[in-house]
Amino acid sequence: MIPDTPAGRGDTAHRRFDLTTVVAIALPLVVALLLVVVRPDAPALERTPPTTSALTTSSVVCPSALDGRSGNESTLGVASASGASGTLTLTSGAGASTASVAPGRVADVKGQDAPVVVAGQGDLAPGVVAGISSSKPLTALDCAPVSASQWFTGVGAGPTHASVLELANPNPGPAVADVAVLSDEGPLEVPALRGIAVEGRSHVRLDLGTVVPRTGDLALHVVVERGQLGVAIRDRGEKLTGGTTTEDWLPAQARPSRRNLLLGVQPGSGRHTLTIANDSDGQATATLRLITAGSVFSPAGAKPITVPPHGVARTYLDDLLKSPTAKDAIGVEVDADQAVTASLRSVVDGDLSILTPGRRVFNPTTAVLPGGKKRLVLAGADAVGVATVVARAADGTELLNQRVSLQPDEGASLDLPDRAASVEVTPQRTALRGAVLVQDGGSAVVRLRELVRAGAVPAVAPGRR
């Protein structure tokens, strides 16, 4: 009830007035103080990292052998880095076979005109290694596990430089891939490369020269929408006049990066084409650094390369790699202000070899090598460390066991014995990137990769988003 006469009825009213005034000042302050400390946690999804577990099965997919010149022989070398002995299964469209493996040994199988899935079960599941190589022309490729997304930079679709995309489905169910194409003029809409369906246990080959006839270098982003696919690109160069054909594999790059290490450069004369693709929304500016065994430096006079958004840029490094400064170069580093992909395509003495950035290696890894003169190049260390290199012959005989010291901003190289059929590199205290340059009447590069030794088991919990 509102009092009909205002406050001021003697002492009691006065005191009550005072009390209400005090409360009227104190109460809002207390409420405000309480509200200030009310900070409930926002609803959040818990991020739980996966646990690792022993693999029960794993596989790599090798593309079909190249049909090179006469006398060409394709060989599929398979090995297991698991430390166990047993048989790996080789499955292709033609049927299944097995190859016996033991620690350190490499089993050679004749290459087939169809992709081969090399799988290990049980003890042999971790560390399945396979490489496909041919002698004329010299080509080599480390067979990789399936991947949902990968980049191929510097593919061709023209008369002198054409590439073939091979998609191999290792599973019984169908698979679908989408291929996005970047050109020097921006993204290309290629309906034939959208929703490429590959039936179970079969493969699809697409000649880019037919599908998207176009001069100039392209970059492909292959995304597997459904199922799993082994993806490989065979790159082919032809001289319209001389009729010389040269061919090699174009290895995949896992994802765009601001720092791209192209290891296994052969300095000297020849045609060295650097292709950089930028799928970001902004223009990318790339600079080059040369990697030698002992240093990484920016060559004098090298100009920054600008790559348009969603575009591809091509430069020739002939002059740079011919120059004396590049004499000892083992690799080229492409640094950009946007995440880009890159490849270096070299035609030296009529033989093609292609360098693309490999992934970082944290754990002991093994690569299967073709015959010929070999040189291991290592770079990309993020700390001072060492790498123990063991080269073995096909029968497992140890040919070389050497420690190579590694430092950030330095490369390292080590000549491997010609007989070496496999090389095992164990990084310590640092991660590294590496490749083996093989020269035998031509050249080829085999990249090192982190082997699949354990499966990631995601944390699973009920939840509706």
Partner 1 sequence: MSQPSVALLVVSHDGSRWLPTVLEGIRSQTVAPTRVVAIDTGSKDESPQLLREALGELHVVKSSTTFPEAVDLGLELLRDDPAGWLWILHDDSTPDPRALEWLLTAAEADPSFDILGPKLREWPSLRRLLELGVTISGTGRRETGLERGEYDQGQHNDVRTVLAVNTAGMLIRREALERLGGFDPQLPMFGNDIDLGWRAARAGMRTMVVPDAVVFHAEAAHRGARRTPLTGRHTHYQERRAALYTLLVNARARALPFQVVRLFFGTLLRMVGFLLVRSVGEALDELAALLNVYVRPGPVLAARRARRALDVADPREVRRLLAPPWLPYRHGLDFVGDVAGALTNQASDVAERRRAAAAERDPASFAARRQAEIEAGDAYDGDAILRDTGVVARFLTNPVALLLAVVVIALLVATRTAFGTVVGGGLSPTPDGAGHWWRLIVESWHPIGQGSEVPAPPYLLPLALLATLLAGNPDLAVTAVLVLAPPVALWGAWRLLRVVGRLLSIKGSPRWLVLWGATSYALVPLVAGAWGDGRLGPVVAAATLPWAAHAALGFADPVADRRWRAGWRSGLLLALIVAFTPVAWLFCVVLAGVVLLAARFLVRGGGMLGDRSVWGPPAVALGVPVVLFAAWWLPALLHGAGHGLLLDAGIPPTPAPSGWGLALGRLPDLGAPWWLGLVLPVLAVVALVPARTRVPVLVCWVVGLVAAAVALVLSLVTFNLGAETSPAATSFLLVLVQGAAVVAIVIGAQGALVGLRGPLRAAAAGLAIVALVVPLGGLAWAVAGDHGALGDAPPADVPAYMLQAAAEGPEHGILVLHGSVAAGVRYSVVRGDGVTLGEDEILALTPEDTGFSTLVQEFVSRPDQHTVDGLAAAGIQYVVQPAPSDPAVSAAIDAASGVTQASAQRRSTRAWQLGTEPSADALQGSTSWLHVALVAVELVGLIAVIVQCAPTVERRRKA
Among 126, 127, 170, 331, binds partner 1 (CB under 8 A): 170
Q: Which stretch binds partner 1 (CB under 8 A): 90-98, 173-181, 262-270, 327-335?
A: 173-181
Q: What tokens does 117 get?
A: 């899935």
Question: Is 191 near partner 1 (CB under 8 A)?
Answer: no
Among 10, 11, 12, 41, binds partner 1 (CB under 8 A): 41
Among 10, 12, 34, 110, binds partner 1 (CB under 8 A): 34
Q: Which stretch binds partner 1 (CB under 8 A): 27-35, 185-193, 255-263, 361-369?
A: 27-35
Q: Are 444 and 266 in contact (CB under 8 A)?
A: no
Among positive and negative, which fits the CA dihedral 383, 330, 351, 365? negative
Half-sphere exposure of 294 (CA within 13 A, CB side): 1
User: Rule CB under 8 A: which of 395-454 touch partner 1?
Assistant: none
Is the Cβ of residue 303 or residue 464 nearer to partner 1 in the bound state? 464
Residues touching partner 1: how many (CB under 8 A)?
A: 63
Minimum gap (Å) between residue 348 Cβ and partner 1: 37
Site string for partner 1, 44-83 (x = CB under 8 A): xxxxxxx--x-xxx--------------------------
Minimum gap (Å) between residue 124 Cβ and partner 1: 15
Q: Are 57 and 121 in contact (CB under 8 A)?
A: yes
Question: Is 458 near partner 1 (CB under 8 A)?
Answer: yes
Q: Which stretch binds partner 1 (CB under 8 A): 24-32, 256-264, 388-396, 414-422?
A: 24-32
Question: Is 110 near partner 1 (CB under 8 A)?
Answer: no
Is the Cβ of residue 14 or residue 271 nearer to partner 1 in the bound state? 14
Among 95, 191, 243, 462, binds partner 1 (CB under 8 A): 462
Is the Cβ of residue 110 or residue 189 nearer to partner 1 in the bound state? 189
Is the Cβ of residue 22 or residue 383 nearer to partner 1 in the bound state? 22
Closest residue by Cα to residue 366 from 446, 261, 437: 446
Q: Find the distance separating the first CA and the last CA of the chain, reported in whole Å.
A: 55
Q: What tokens does 456 get?
A: 């990631």
Among positive and negative, which fits the CA dihedral 290, 295, 297, 299? negative
Is the Cβ of residue 52 or residue 160 nearer to partner 1 in the bound state? 52
Minimum gap (Å) between residue 54 Cβ and partner 1: 10
**Cβ-count burial of 216 within 10 angstroms (0-12 exposed, 13-18 middle, 19+ buried)?**
middle
Among 87, 89, 98, 171, binds partner 1 (CB under 8 A): 171
Q: Which stretch binds partner 1 (CB under 8 A): 17-25, 102-110, 185-193, 427-435?
A: 17-25
Minimum gap (Å) between residue 457 Cβ and partner 1: 4
Give Cβ neighbours of residue 300 (< 8 Å, ≥ 6 apart).
325
Minimum gap (Å) between residue 148 Cβ and partner 1: 3
Q: What tokens does 163 get?
A: 């590439």
User: Rule CB under 8 A: which of 121-160 touch partner 1?
Assistant: 146, 148-149
Among 11, 12, 35, 303, binds partner 1 (CB under 8 A): 35
Give Cβ neighbours of residue 434 (< 8 Å, ≥ 6 apart).
263, 358, 361, 376, 377, 378, 379, 387, 425, 447, 448
CA dist 427 and 311 (Å) reads 36
Residues in the chain: 465
Edge to edge, the sheet with strand 385-392 lists 365-368, 422-428, 385-392, 398-406
Minimum gap (Å) between residue 92 Cβ and partner 1: 17
Question: Is 300 near partner 1 (CB under 8 A)?
Answer: no
Place of tokens 């406050």: 7
CA dist 338 and 281 (Å) reads 9
Question: Is 38 near partner 1 (CB under 8 A)?
Answer: yes
Is the Cβ of residue 6 or residue 242 nearer to partner 1 in the bound state? 6
User: What's the CA dihedral at 62, 63, 68, 72 to 10 degrees?
Assistant: 20
CA dist 76 and 118 (Å) reads 10
Buried-state track 34-52, b at ≥16 Cβ within 10 A, e below 16:
eeeeeeeeeeeeeeeeeee
User: Rule CB under 8 A: which of 196-225 touch partner 1?
Assistant: 224-225
Q: Is the peptide bond before 137 cis (omega within 30 degrees of 0)?
A: yes
Place of tokens 């004329």: 136
User: Rule CB under 8 A: which of 362-391 touch partner 1?
Assistant: none
Minimum gap (Å) between residue 344 Cβ and partner 1: 28
Among 195, 282, 408, 441, binds partner 1 (CB under 8 A): 195
Provide DSSP, 196-244: EEE-TT-EEEEEHHHHS-EEEEEEEEEEEEES--EEEEEEEEE-TTT--
- Which residues make up the interface to partner 1 (CB under 8 A)? 1-4, 6-7, 17, 20-21, 23-24, 27-28, 30-32, 34-50, 53, 55-57, 146, 148-149, 170-175, 195, 224-228, 455-465
